[in-house]
Amino acid sequence: MKILINALVKLITGATIMALLLFVPAGTLAYRGAWRLIALLFIPMLLLGTALLVRAPETLQRRLNSKEKRKKQDGIVKISGALFILAFIVAGLDFRFGWSNVGKGTVYTAGVLFIISYALYAEVTRENKWLSRTVETSAGQKVVSNGLYGIVRHPMYTATIVMFLSMPLVLGSWWAFIVMITYIPIIAARIKDEEHLLKAELDGYTAYCRKVRWRLVPYLW
């Protein structure tokens, strides 16, 4: 029950904050892109959260914990949060003043990519029961090297990059997309620090890195 209440509070709070960041700058509730993104994000989130609550409550609990213990990671999370706030405000202003002209085809394609990335995110959650929202290791944790983890070392971050870069286009804003591109170097810094921790604290991770060479995208990085 405690996990359920915590999850619902975070879900409602997140949806409310996103709505305010989008609709207030837009100056209207008639912002279809904002309604579209809220539905694309929070309906699957509710479904995934329900599935985890039933089948893997420990994983859900780890996903709900957002307090970073490492100073560097805490800084990265704060920068990421500021980035998202800026991107959503810019998208709302973009809608109000008509700065961008994003075609319907691009918007719908971004929506499809968003759904695909969320499906990959859900699959990563299924494959790795130790998956945490914060950078840490758990007692008894083992290296996961099958499935998507056999292709890249951080499939969750790959999924989130596609997800987050598609968000501004779902909202119909090229300017917000430009803002969101800066998420890539931010997540790269997070990965480097995370791997430093994993190599030091998780048995077998160094050997896993030799086996699976690519962090995010095969043959690229």
Would residue 220 count as lying in a domain? no
Task: Give tens-digit pLDDT for 89-108.
Answer: 999 999 999 999 999 999 99
Q: What percent of the chain has pLDDT over 70?
A: 97
Domain encompassing residue 96: 2-130+139-211
- Mean pLDDT computed over 51-69: 75
- Please give the residue that has the higher pLDDT: either 61 or 37: 37
Q: Compute the distance between CA of residue 187 and CA of residue 160 in angstroms, rounded to an integer.
A: 10
The pLDDT, as a whole number, for residue 148 is 94
Q: Is residue 221 part of a domain?
A: no
Q: pLDDT digit string (tens) for 204-216?
A: 999 999 999 999 9
Residue 66: pLDDT band (50, 70, 90) is low
Judge whether 202 lies within some domain. Answer: yes
Residue 95 belongs to domain with CATH number: 1.20.120.1630
Which pLDDT belongs to residue 138? 78
What's the pLDDT tens digit per position in 121-134?
889 988 888 777 67
The answer to whether residue 50 is domain-embedded is yes
The distance from CA 84 to its chain's CA centroid, rounded to whole angstroms, is 11
- In the predicted structure, residue 1 carries a pLDDT above the cut 80: no
User: Is residue 216, in this structure, part of any structural domain at all?
Assistant: no
pLDDT at 63 over 80: no
Is residue 218 one of the residues assigned to a domain? no
> Does residue 103 form part of some domain?
yes
Domain count, the chain: 1
The predicted pLDDT at position 97 comes to 96
The single-letter code of the amino acid at 120 is L
Contact 102, 172 (CB under 8 A): yes
What is the pLDDT, as a whole number, of residue 55?
A: 82
Q: How far apart are CA 126 and CA 56, in angstroms?
A: 9
**Which amino acid, 116?**
I
